[in-house]
């Protein structure tokens, strides 16, 4: 049977540079040949394929849109296409890469010292060190400003106390970027290394979604860290939101990958499944669904392409990133639901990737800023009136 080809109804390919096309193509081949054959098994077992991390690193995925320290230095559009291909594999794979790059390497590069960069970035590009990002707390998600985590000055540095929740890569991370409120008031970022006394990570079990991804709770119980582990450039919650903005950008692209996988599966299935005396693709109600899917995918592609170009130009506003994340995850989830419908009973088993993507996207819709919060970000941008509280 013909292999997967990324749908490109509006011939967007022609708007890409040769490097951007090549970046998407190389990651697509890798996902197809190396990741897809093992994902269902990992999803069933509830494990992330850590054994593939060296291969992802060798491709140069981690921090691919950053420069220096061994990073590939690609455009944000190329990076977006890479994220799309990873999430075509699984949202867990894209999340791993987003957290490593956008939420850990990015703050070290942006807010860190030369020593911190030298220590962590080259090893993180090579996948030898894994990072995570601790902002959300059990009682504070959409309102991180209410966080209870505290950083208290002590002679040699800081003492951290608090709990962080829903932390991707938490228990496998060598370093955590932890956000805590200082005695002076502002929230700042700190590097907490695995093995530091008082610091522990516990995996969250029983997930229906993001099964092939490590999700943990981080506990900080009088964790003493030296002064040099403060990210000196961090200035309040604003710095944490800058990291999230990077990650949200990668989600806006990634969601299209999951949507493409569902659309592709549904289209093939509809073409070969005979009901009464013809393929289900030949019935109007099914065509309506398939057409809605490809139309929304095409619109989503053009949205993030422009978002990427703005970002490459240094002009992408956070509310524009919000629109990308809000819209693309929303349509991806709707597409996954429709694909599941088209597959009938086959839509619920893991012989097809649809239910896995569908469940994953339920997470993607509410993490990194819920759909509703992004709606309010855009609402505030156009009306000038904040409606968060």
Partner 1 sequence: MKIIVILKQVPDSETKIKVKGDGSGIETDGIKYVISPYDEYAVEEALKLKEKAGGDSTVTVVSAGPDRTVESIRTALAMGADAAVHVNDPALEGADSLGVARALAKAIQDNGFDIIFAGKQGIDQDNSQVPSAVAELLDIPQVNIIAKFEITEDKSKATVSRRIEGGEETIETSLPALFGCEKGLNEPRYASLPGIMKAKKKPVKTVDLAGLGLDAGEVGAAGSHVKILKWIPLPERQAGKILQGMETAEASKELVRLLREEAKVI
Catalytic residues: 368
As a whole number of Å, the CA-based R_g of the chain is 21
* Per CB under 8 A, 359 contacts partner 1: no
Task: Indicate the pairing of strand 278-279 with strand 274-275.
Answer: antiparallel
**What CA–CA distance (Å, rounded) separates 119 from 117?**
5
Only one of the segments 72-80, 136-144, 298-306, 341-349 lies at the binding site for partner 1 (rule: CB under 8 A); that segment is 72-80
The piece of 63-71, 112-120, 209-217, 241-249 that touches partner 1 (CB under 8 A) is 63-71
Residue 128 contacts partner 1 per CB under 8 A: no
**E strands in 155-307:** 157-168, 175-182, 187-193, 199-203, 215-226, 274-275, 278-279
Backbone angles phi, psi at 134, to 5 degrees: -110, 100
Residue count, binding to partner 1 (CB under 8 A): 25
Residue closer to partner 1, measured from CB, 73 or 186:
73
Counting contacts by CB under 8 A, is residue 74 touching partner 1?
A: yes
Q: Does 83 bind partner 1 (CB under 8 A)?
A: no
> Please, which residues bridge with residue 177 across strands?
133, 191
Q: Which of 259, 247, 213 is CA-nearest to residue 87?
A: 259
Alpha-carbon span 385 to 80, nearest angstrom? 31
**Sequence-distant (≥ 6) Cβ neighbours of residue 264 within 8 angstroms:** 4, 5, 7
Which residue in the set 64, 175, 180, 218 belongs to the binding site for partner 1 (CB under 8 A)?
64
- Min dist. Cβ of residue 125 to partner 1 (A): 9
Contact between 244 and partner 1 (CB under 8 A)? no
In angstroms, rounded to a whole number, what is the distance separating the alpha carbons of residues 87 and 251? 9
Q: How far is the CB of 83 from partner 1 (least distance, A)?
A: 12
Which residue lies nearer to partner 1 by CB, 68 or 146? 68
Within positions 156 to 185, which residues make up the interface with partner 1, using CB under 8 A? none
Residues between 1 and 20 that touch partner 1 (CB under 8 A): 2-3, 5, 18-19
Determine if 324 is a binding residue for partner 1 (CB under 8 A). Answer: no
Enumerate residues 6+ apart whose C-beta is below 8 A from 220: 149, 160, 161, 162, 163, 164, 178, 180, 192, 198, 199
Residue selected from 72, 123, 214, 339 as contacting partner 1 according to rule CB under 8 A: 72
Distance CA 367, CA 349 (A): 25
Nearer to partner 1, 23 or 259 (CB): 23
**Rounded Cα gap, residues 157 and 329, in angstroms:** 41
Residue 245: both structure tokens together:
């903005």
Question: Is-contact 168 215, C-beta < 8 A?
Answer: yes
The binder of partner 1 chosen from 53, 78, 300, 354 (CB under 8 A): 78
Site string for partner 1, 30-49 (x = CB under 8 A): x-------------------
Smallest gap from residue 3 Cβ to partner 1 (A): 5
Q: Could you tell me which stretch among 67-75, 214-222, 318-326, 327-335 binds partner 1 (CB under 8 A)?
A: 67-75
Binding site residues, partner 1, CB under 8 A = 2-3, 5, 18-19, 21-23, 25-27, 29-30, 58-61, 64, 70-74, 78, 82
């Amino acid at each position: 049977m013909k292999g997967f080809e990324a749908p490109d109804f509006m011939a967007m390919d022609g708007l890409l540079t040769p490097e951007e096309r090549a970046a998407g193509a190389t990651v697509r081949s890798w996902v197809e040949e190396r990741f897809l054959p093992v994902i269902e098994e990992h999803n069933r077992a509830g494990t992330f394929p850590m054994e593939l991390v060296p291969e992802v690193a060798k491709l140069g995925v981690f921090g691919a849109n950053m420069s220096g320290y061994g990073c590939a230095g690609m455009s944000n559009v190329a990076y977006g296409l890479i994220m799309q291909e990873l999430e075509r594999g699984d949202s867990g794979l894209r999340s791993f890469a987003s957290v490593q790059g956008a939420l850990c390497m990015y703050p070290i590069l942006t807010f860190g010292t030369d020593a911190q960069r030298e220590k962590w970035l080259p090893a993180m590009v090579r996948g030898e060190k894994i990072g995570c990002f601790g902002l959300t707390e059990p009682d504070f998600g959409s309102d991180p400003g209410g966080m209870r985590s505290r950083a208290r000055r002590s002679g040699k540095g800081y003492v951290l106390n608090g709990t962080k929740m829903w932390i991707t890569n938490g228990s496998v991370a060598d370093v955590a970027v932890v956000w805590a409120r200082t005695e002076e008031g502002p929230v700042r970022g700190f590097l907490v290394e695995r093995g530091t006394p008082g610091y522990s990570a516990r995996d969250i079990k029983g997930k229906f979604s993001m099964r092939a991804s490590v999700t943990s709770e981080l506990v900080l119980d009088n964790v003493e860290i030296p002064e040099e582990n403060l990210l000196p450039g961090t200035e309040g919650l604003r710095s944490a939101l800058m990291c999230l903005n990077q990650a949200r950008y990668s989600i806006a692209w990634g969601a299209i990958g999951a949507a493409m996988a569902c659309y592709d599966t549904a289209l093939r299935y509809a073409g070969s499944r005979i009901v009464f005396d013809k393929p289900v693709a030949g019935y109007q109600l099914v065509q309506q669904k398939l057409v809605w899917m490809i139309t929304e995918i095409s619109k989503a592609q053009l949205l993030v392409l422009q978002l990427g170009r703005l970002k490459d130009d240094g002009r992408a506003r956070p509310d524009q990133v919000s629109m990308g994340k809000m819209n693309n995850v929303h349509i991806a989830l709707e597409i996954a639901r429709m694909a599941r419908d088209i597959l009938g009973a086959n839509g619920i088993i893991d012989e097809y990737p649809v239910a896995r993507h569908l469940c994953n996207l339920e997470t993607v819709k509410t993490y990194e800023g819920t759909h509703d919060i992004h709606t309010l970000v855009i609402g505030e941008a156009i009306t000038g009136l904040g409606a968060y509280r």
